[in-house]
């Protein structure tokens, strides 16, 4: 998606962009914290995430940060099924489409209470990712 945005092309997305979705950038950081804490063993944890937003909101933030006008190209379940006839990766993806068609919200409040707030805001994560793409 970031590469397309920087090339002023449409962002490729799956399912519905209007469902709330939790995007987790700090997964590795959360796992390291959990791995260093004896008290974390045997517990169920959701790693920290930034504010839950819709896919549309996140994609718009990416375009705005890049100074571009938002453009979308969305693949529905039907299109993914059709592409799966020719592409094994798309065939496998069809089984995961529910994640992009329904709300996907993670509550990390237990983690935050135990270890503090460590989530990177979307704006910062987007800026860092755009810079990474520009330099590759």
Q: How confident is the model at residue 136 (pLDDT cuts 50, 70, 90)?
A: confident
By DSSP bridging, strand 20-21 and strand 53-54 are antiparallel
Segment 9-56, tens digit of pLDDT: 999 999 999 999 998 889 999 999 999 999 999 999 999 899 999 999
Q: Name the residue among 88, 68, 75 with its Cα closest to residue 8.
A: 68
Adjacent-strand bridge partners of 74: 13
Segment 83-109, tens digit of pLDDT: 999 999 999 998 889 989 999 999 999
pLDDT score for 117: 83
Spatial separation of the C-alpha atoms in residues 101 and 39, rounded to whole Å: 36
Task: Kindly indicate whether the domain formed by 2-134 is annotated with CATH number 1.10.10.1100.
Answer: no
Cα–Cα distance list, 97 to 2, 11, 15, 18, 91 (Å): 21, 17, 7, 14, 11
Whether pLDDT at 82 is above 90: yes
């Amino acid at each position: 998606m970031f590469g397309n945005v920087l090339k002023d092309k449409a962002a490729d997305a799956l399912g519905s962009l209007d469902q709330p979705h939790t995007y987790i950038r700090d997964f590795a950081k959360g796992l390291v914290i959990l791995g260093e804490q004896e008290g974390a063993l045997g517990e169920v944890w959701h790693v920290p995430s930034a504010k839950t937003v819709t896919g549309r909101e996140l994609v718009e933030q990416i375009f705005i940060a890049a100074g571009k006008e938002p453009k979308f190209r969305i693949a529905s379940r039907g299109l993914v099924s059709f592409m799966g006839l020719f592409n094994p990766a798309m065939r496998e993806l069809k089984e995961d489409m529910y994640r992009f068609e329904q709300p996907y919200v993670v509550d990390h409040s237990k983690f935050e209470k135990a270890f503090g707030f460590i989530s990177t805001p979307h704006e910062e994560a987007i800026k860092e990712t755009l810079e990474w793409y520009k330099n590759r």
